[in-house]
Each structure stands twice: as C-alpha cells, then as structure tokens.
Amino acid sequence: IQAVPFFEGKKKCLDYLKTEENVISWTAIITGPSFDWGMCLGFQGFNLSTKTATIVDGGNVRFTTTNIRQIARSIIAVLEHADDTVNEVVFVESFITTQHELLPVLEKVTREKWKIVEESSEEIRAFGARAFAEGNLMVGGGALLKALILGKDVSTDHTEVEGGIWNTRVGLPKENLEEEVRAIVGSAT
C-alpha cells in the first residue's frame, strides 16, 4: 500500500468483505500485472518498437504476471470451484519471471539484439510520486506500479504468498513463455 497508494481502496474493500463473511461470500483474484497487455505498453520495461530494454534494479527481481486470457479463465475457474474459493484470496499467474529471463526470449523472437538501459526503482518511484502528487495519475500511477513490480524492495512473486498459487487447484493450464512472447511480438508488428 505504501508503494502504490491507490491500492488502499482495494485493501479497504477486502478488509470490509472479511468482516461481513457471515452475510456475504466473496473471492478476490490476484493476478499481478497483465503480461500481454503490459508487454505491448512497455510496462515490464520492454519497448517492442525500439527494441529497448529498461532493466530495473539489475533485472533479476522475480514477478508474477498473467495474460488477459488466463485472467478470464481464472474468473470462470473460481466460479466453477466456488466451494473451494469462497472467502479466499486466489493468486493465479501465467508466468513468474524476471526481466533477465524475458530479454533473451524477446531477442530470440525478434532476432535482434536489444539496447539495454539501466534504471533504479528508487528513481522510478520518486518520479511516479511527483507525477501522482501533481495530478498526473496515469503517468504517476504507471511509474509507481513499474517500481513495485520490477523493483527489489517489494516481492510480487506470488509463490511467496500464504496459500501459494492456485492454478493447479482450479485447473488453469500452464502457458508457454516463448509462445506468448511470439504472439505478442507478432500482433505488435
């Protein structure tokens, strides 16, 4: 919440639902950032058009990310497994990866060596906080999320959360990173 202040509303909502479990059932689905949509927007630090990789904090921070298709499947799966997922926080994913794992896949798929730019999550976070404070919510919010996801200070690797990843428990398929990157690059060109 401290890293991304606008998540406070989500936390308050979840806290409220937990207090009302005797009158309402709920399920929260946590996916991490969208992989396919985010990759097209350069959100994971990769600019598909310029073949530039902005590597944050060394690029070895593990993060969970999910394709929009897998997010849709997870909603269906939660409904199909309602007895198991009632009043639970359900963590799902397409991949748990790092920037350094993604870069060689992108270079293989594009058949090009990418330019690398190094950045620190502290710089990104400071920029995001300034932009957010100045009322530029999209730019500021995007930078705060980027620092959270790719930065070394907070883990967004869902294998480390209580209860772990639910993919197997709700029957979600395993996705192939290279195939997904190939589809994203193909649709972006």
Q: What tens-digit pLDDT sequence spans the chain (189 residues)?
A: 455 566 788 889 998 999 999 999 999 999 988 999 999 988 899 999 999 999 999 999 999 999 999 999 999 999 999 999 999 999 999 999 999 999 999 999 999 999 999 999 999 999 999 998 999 988 998 888 889 889 987 777 767 777 889 999 999 999 999 999 999 999 876
Could you tell me if 178 and 109 are in contact, meaning their C-beta atoms sit under 8 angstroms apart? yes
List the beta bridge partners of residue 47: 52
Q: What is the 3-state secondary structure (H, E, C) of 50-116?
A: CCEEEEEHHHCCCEEEECHHHHHHHHHHHHHCHHHHCCEEEECCCEEECHHHHHHHHHHHHCCCCEE
Does the predicted model carry a pTM greater than 0.95? no
Q: Report how far residue 13's alpha carbon sits from residue 26's, in angstroms, rounded to the nearest whole number.
A: 11
Q: Report how far residue 187's alpha carbon sits from residue 189's, in angstroms, rounded to the nearest whole number.
A: 6
Question: Where are the chain's structural domains?
Answer: 26-119+154-188
The class level of CATH for 26-119+154-188 reads alpha beta
Q: Which are the contacts of 187, defined by CB distance < 8 A and separation ≥ 6?
A: 40
pLDDT number for residue 41:
87
Q: Extract the tokens encoding 72.
A: 């849709």
List the beta bridge partners of residue 96: 64
Q: Extract the tokens encoding 79.
A: 């409904």
pLDDT number for residue 93:
95
Calculate the alpha carbon distances from 33 to 54, 106, 115 in Å: 17, 18, 24
